[in-house]
Structure 1
């Protein structure tokens, strides 16, 4: 077996395909891979940056004397950021906002094998919506305008390499201000990017008055690369 299609769906942003491929780095010698409109999004082998979104930020918050209890995760992906957030016993509630119903269904029904156990945690609230609309409050359930201690956005590849052009506003000042307004005092926004983005930290600094960049080394099928996390505090 070189590659097997596990599932395919068409949703608000186009076509999603879930595949299993042979990969010796995977636990069983295989990897699950997610593609959007033919573009590689992520797999179950190289998950360092998705996990670091949670672990590095939660650790930094603790060092500064804060304990994030309410977390918003924008983009379910294959669940690795969510898994790390749930591993923190101090976290009391996690809202996950994912626009693609197909991806949510695969996580719930076991097409993604570890999905049902992940979503069984009673701290998880899973919302199927556009995270930009949710943050603006236009698509929040029952008009929910809850304040979050931590907002983690992993929705696209970054402003310079968008898979979906409609996501461009996630990296611009109006949406960043909406995030700031949803954060508690001292709360943190973290944005994931597949590439270094010189303009993004400037935009974040303009809104928050601060921004730090964290490069994360990754192994992409034998190639040493870097992904990036950009963090600002309210």
Structure 2
């Protein structure tokens, strides 16, 4: 078993955020709860790839949640988006992507198309007038398992209406989930439009799921 060491630990407005190293990999822990690590990333990359496949060149993309960087790395690997806005509430996490996590995000924060907004996503969505061709949502562990209570609003009717309003006509919303969430998929379809479900098998537990909804 790999030795686990704490690389950095910071007190934020939401409690303690820690970066741990386990062998060659990093783990992000929030208030003692495991959030994510750098071991896989297939479903996070699929989240972005599926969204980009649904839009044209020169598109504007919004990524909610920086995580360990798999999503933004996939976005900058494509020539399709002309603008990539990443909204991440934890400034510490953004800082870690300047050093420890830079290899996993492939130094994506240095790409001129990328703009990082250090804000709460719900608050920022309510204030910005901008619209996007693709929105990729990877917050907490999905609709049915949110680490922070405030993030649950993103997945309810009001949050979905807000996301719909931030989509350009014909835009697509891609949502990552740690497991199937049929109730959420039904809400998604009723508020946005047609929904497809993409599953990614994982070594243990239920498959990760990407929900893809097209605004009508």
* TM-score for the superposition, normalised by structure 1: 0.85
**Pick aligned residue for 1:89 from 72, 79, 85:** 79
> Which residue is 1:193 aligned to?
177
Q: Does residue 4 in structure 1 map to residue 5 in structure 2? A: yes
Q: CA deviation at 1:111?
A: 2.7
Q: Distance in 1 between matches of 2:13 and 2:167?
A: 27
Distance 1:33 1:84, change over 3 A: same
Q: SS of the counterpart of 1:200? A: helix
Q: SS of the counterpart of 2:202? A: strand
Aligned positions, number? 213
TM superposition outliers: structure 1 runs of 4+ over 3 Å: none
Distance 1:11 1:68, change over 3 A: farther
Distance 1:226 1:97, change over 3 A: same
Within 5 Å, give how 1:43-58 maps onto structure 2. 43-58=37-52
Give structure 1 stretches of 5+ with no counterpart: 23-29, 138-143
Q: Distance in 2 between matches of 1:122 and 1:104?
A: 16
Distance 1:202 1:120, change over 3 A: same
**Maintained 8 Å contact 1:190/1:231:** yes
Distance 1:166 1:224, change over 3 A: closer
> Which residue is 1:80 aligned to?
70
Q: CA deviation at 1:2?
A: 0.6
Q: Distance in 1 between matches of 2:52 and 2:22?
A: 33
CA RMSD of aligned residues (A): 1.7
Q: Does residue 173 in structure 1 map to residue 157 in structure 2? A: yes
Q: Does residue 214 in structure 1 map to residue 208 in structure 2? A: no
Q: Does residue 111 in structure 1 map to residue 100 in structure 2? A: yes
Q: Distance in 1 between matches of 2:34 and 2:130?
A: 33
Q: Does residue 128 in structure 1 map to residue 110 in structure 2? A: no
> Which residue is 2:147 aligned to?
163
Q: CA deviation at 1:224?
A: 5.8
* TM-score for the superposition, normalised by structure 2: 0.92
**Maintained 8 Å contact 1:8/1:16:** yes
